[in-house]
């Protein structure tokens, strides 16, 4: 019998342990019965009996009680049905394929969000990735052109590393919203997922690129891709870092230009939603809301298999009872 399994044992009917309360009663009954069965003889003195050897049968007779108690205890534990269980899970995930398209143009260095728009966008993007455990997610960056920084993947560690590497100046400057959207669609067009989503974040107005934003919108609709658009930047003016002729950096207040009508049109016609983030907290809340809107269906089916361990205990109880009967009618046999 492997006693190591008792570390993880469970009992199907633990109420049977209440029967163990009968053990003191059994001991009391045995002692009282033995006292009633002892013969009495009057003697003037016990002095002459001192030093006489005591029979081993008298000394060992309580073994019968011990065997009976062991048999009773083993039987009670067996009735409680000791079991071990093995649990396995089957996970059926209906994931969503998501591409995050992030503007990395020079204007994303504005510091109306802290430490700047781009770093704030990267931080919330990584938090969003952590919350989408079973989804495939990719990253597209764009400014004057677009580039797939990371194809859609379930390896979120690699994706987060790629997000961390993003910085302004990696691509030709400008704001090619159409190119960013079109590249994101291209990453999703062959996807077999039931739900395909693009989260497009920008802080400007489309001013360059080979593909017009409205053309990219029609492509998105053709592939049934839902687009959530996020406009980043405060209302009015924001501090932009400007490089001076001597090479120093100075902050200058400049007008915030954001094509909100275009962003709203893209999201509305694809079944998504437009958001405006004027500070870090609002940007965090936006990604949190998108996370709630795009819920992934995950079904977990749990299987629990039980292994019974009462049989060895039943055998112990039977062995103790048989031994007790054999000894009672052989070595410890009582004469009438």
* pLDDT given at position 45: 54
* 284, 127 contact by CB (below 8 A): yes
Task: Tell me which residue of 326, 303, 259 sits closest to 103, measured CA to CA.
Answer: 259
How far is the C-alpha of 275 from the C-alpha of 168, rounded, in Å?
23
Q: What is the pLDDT along the chain (336 residues), one digit of tens a residue?
A: 555 566 678 888 889 888 889 888 888 887 887 777 655 555 555 555 555 555 666 667 778 888 888 988 988 888 888 888 776 555 555 678 999 999 999 999 999 999 999 999 999 999 999 999 888 999 999 999 999 999 999 999 999 999 999 999 999 999 999 999 999 999 999 998 889 999 999 999 999 999 999 999 999 999 999 999 999 999 889 999 888 888 788 888 998 999 999 999 999 999 999 999 999 999 999 999 999 888 766 555 566 677 788 888 889 889 988 988 888 778 767 655
How far is the C-alpha of 123 from the C-alpha of 117, rounded, in Å?
10
Sheet containing 96-103, strands listed edge to edge, beginning at the edge strand earlier in sequence: 146-153, 136-142, 96-103, 195-202, 226-232, 274-277
Residue 320, class by beta-carbon neighbours within 10 Å (0-12 exposed, 13-18 middle, 19+ buried)? buried
Which runs of consecutive H residues, i.e. helices, occur in 106-223?
Answer: 117-131, 156-165, 177-188, 213-222
pTM as predicted: 0.63
Q: Tell me the two tokens of residue 116.
A: 């700047």
Which runs of consecutive H residues, i.e. helices, occur in 41-155?
Answer: 56-60, 62-79, 117-131
* pLDDT given at position 10: 83
How far is the C-alpha of 274 from the C-alpha of 231, rounded, in Å?
8
Half-sphere exposure of 263 (CA within 13 A, CB side): 22
* pLDDT given at position 68: 85
* 225, 197 contact by CB (below 8 A): yes
* pLDDT given at position 98: 95
* 140, 183 contact by CB (below 8 A): yes
* 138, 197 contact by CB (below 8 A): no
* pLDDT given at position 234: 92
* pLDDT given at position 9: 81
* pLDDT given at position 29: 85
CA distances to 182, 215, 250, 297 from 244, rounded to whole Å, are: 35, 38, 7, 53
């Amino acid at each position: 019998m492997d006693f190591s399994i008792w570390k993880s044992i469970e009992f199907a009917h633990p109420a049977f342990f209440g029967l163990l309360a009968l053990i003191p009663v059994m001991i009391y009954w045995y002692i009282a019965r033995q006292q009633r069965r002892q013969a009495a003889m009057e003697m003037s003195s016990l002095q002459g009996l001192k030093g006489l050897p005591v029979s081993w049968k008298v000394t060992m007779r309580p073994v019968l009680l011990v065997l009976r108690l062991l048999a009773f205890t083993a039987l009670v534990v067996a009735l409680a049905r000791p079991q071990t269980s093995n649990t396995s899970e089957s996970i059926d995930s209906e994931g969503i394929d998501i591409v995050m398209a992030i503007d990395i143009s020079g204007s994303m260095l504005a510091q109306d969000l802290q430490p700047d728009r781009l770093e704030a966008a990267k931080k919330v993007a990584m938090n969003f990735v952590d919350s989408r455990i079973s989804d495939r997610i990719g990253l597209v960056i764009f400014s004057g052109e677009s580039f797939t920084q990371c194809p859609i993947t379930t390896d979120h560690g690699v994706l987060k590393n790629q997000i961390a590497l993003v910085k302004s100046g990696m691509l030709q400057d400008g704001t090619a919203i159409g190119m960013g959207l079109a590249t994101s669609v291209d990453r999703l067009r062959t996807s077999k997922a039931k739900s395909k989503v693009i989260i497009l974040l920008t802080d400007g107005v489309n001013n360059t690129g080979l593909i017009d934003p409205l053309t990219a919108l029609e492509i998105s609709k053709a592939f049934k891709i839902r687009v959530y658009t996020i406009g980043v930047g405060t209302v009015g003016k924001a501090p932009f870092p400007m490089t001076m002729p001597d090479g120093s950096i100075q902050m200058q207040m400049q007008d915030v230009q954001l094509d909100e009508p275009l962003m709203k049109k893209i999201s509305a016609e694809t079944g998504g939603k437009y958001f405006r983030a004027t500070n870090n907290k609002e940007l965090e809340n936006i990604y949190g809301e998108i996370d709630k809107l795009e819920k992934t269906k995950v079904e977990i089916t749990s299987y629990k298999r039980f292994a019974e361990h009462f049989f060895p205990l039943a055998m112990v109880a039977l062995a103790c009872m048989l031994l007790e009967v054999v000894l009672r009618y052989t070595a410890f046999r009582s004469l009438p």
